[in-house]
Amino acid sequence: MSNSRYRRGLPAITSAALLLCFIAAPRLAAKPPTAVEHPYTLSVFTQSTNEYSQPDSIAQWRDHILVGFQNHVAKDGTDGKSSTIVQYSLGGKVERIFSVPGHNDGLRVVGDDDLWSLQNEDANPNLVVINLESGQRKNYTFAPPVHGGGYDDIRVKDGKVLMTASNPNLNGAGVNTFPALVIAALHGSAVDVEPILKGDAKALDIPTGASVTLNLTDPDSLSIDPRGNVVLDSQADAELILIRNPFSDNPEVGHLGITVGGVATTLDDTTFATGPRGFLLFSDVGGDKVYRIDDVPFGFEPGTAYSTSDTAGIVAVLDVDNGALTPIATGFVSTRGMIFVVPSEDDREE
């Protein structure tokens, strides 16, 4: 996979304004989950139980893994039910369980020990912050979102917390003119947000260099690439948005359409290998399992991008020059949250 264009700089980004419907690549032939590319190996890290189900978001805290189970809770929290956050050892042993009100989606450790758990991405958002050292927690509320929906994913860059503004209202032309990405800050028991990227921002298309106007109808997951760019997934639009210098007055914004075999394909989450030592963890929300992928015997190539596609049911290597996904594991129901785990010590069970 060539990343030459990407390394030279952030070129053009085009909009998924043409992709206003939910796009899905044809699902590969049904078969049990399997790694289809050597030398990747696939194993089950954990699975749902009678007490919790539908694993989605995943975060790492020291040598522990936290998984958000959505428990079939309404995405706007109106059914009054709760999601479950489970803390595991690196070997998949349950260590602690937390309950949070609403439908969990975003999950991120902010600072050294604070787990931010974000609920209700469709409407009525709330945030629960759990101090993982002490176990103490605090609930936070949002003002009614100006875009009409909720907030989905969380990332930290340069000490600032970013959130995606999900499920936006569209105007009569089907365009999102509201913020798609915001900075979030805590004040008292409230979460204040400051917009930094609109859903109809100008961008450059990375493969072609053409100038485009975005239409981010489904802001979803966030990641940070090896160059420090913010990577925003507009899921139903089948596109990634790369943002260089997001806090400046003139951020550089790039667009990348996502495909499998040339067919536009939704993408849920993207992560980057930070070194050879480590492993991928990802959730299959419909299959009620969290899986682990190892790259043996030589380890991962630093900087390689990996993505999950909820509709194609795959894990794939992402070519950041042209947006093409090359599956490395297939046969899943709906792959979602993914992280690259770097153990601080040996990850074998004592």
User: CA angle at residue 160 from 155 to 164, to 5 degrees?
Assistant: 40
* Secondary structure class of 60 (helix, strand, coil): strand
Task: Identify the pLDDT of residue 2.
Answer: 36
Q: So where are the chain's domains? A: 4-341
Task: Identify the pLDDT of residue 297.
Answer: 86
* Residue 281 burial class via C-beta count within 10 angstroms: exposed 0-12, middle 13-18, buried 19 and up: buried
Give pLDDT tens digits for 289-331: 999 999 988 899 999 999 999 999 999 999 999 999 999 999 9
DSSP string for 233-288: EEGGGTEEEEEESTTSSS-EEEEEE-EETTEE----EEEE--SSS-EEEEEETTTT
User: CA angle at residue 290 from 285 to 294, to 5 degrees?
Assistant: 135
Residue 34, Cα to own-chain centre: how many angstroms?
Answer: 22
Handedness of CA 24, 28, 34, 37 (dihedral sign): negative
Identify the helix (H) or strand (E) that includes residue 130: strand 126-131
Do 268 and 336 touch, CB atoms closer than 8 A? yes
Question: Torsion angle, CA of 243/337/133/114, rounded to 10 degrees?
Answer: 30
Q: pLDDT grade, residue 179 (50/70/90)?
A: very high
- Picking from 159, 132, 144, 164, the residue whose alpha carbon sits closest to that of residue 247 is 159
Average pLDDT score over residue span 218-238: 97
Give pLDDT tens digits for 244-290: 999 998 899 999 999 999 999 999 999 999 999 999 999 999 999 99
pLDDT at 29 over 70: no
Q: Does the pTM of the predicted model rise above 0.85? A: yes
* Mean pLDDT, the chain, integer: 91
List strands edge to edge, sheet with 64-69.
55-61, 64-69, 82-89, 94-101
Task: Identify the pLDDT of residue 296.
Answer: 86
Residue 36, Cα to own-chain centre: how many angstroms?
Answer: 23
Average pLDDT score over residue span 227-247: 97
CATH architecture for residues 4-341? 6 Propeller (2.120)
Beta strand 269-272 with 55-61 is unpaired
Question: Which of the two residues, 338 and 16, has the higher pLDDT score?
Answer: 338
Average pLDDT score over residue span 39-56: 97
Task: Identify the pLDDT of residue 3.
Answer: 37
pLDDT at 187 over 80: yes
Q: What CA–CA distance (Å, rounded) separates 277 from 11? A: 31
Q: pLDDT grade, residue 345 (50/70/90)?
A: low
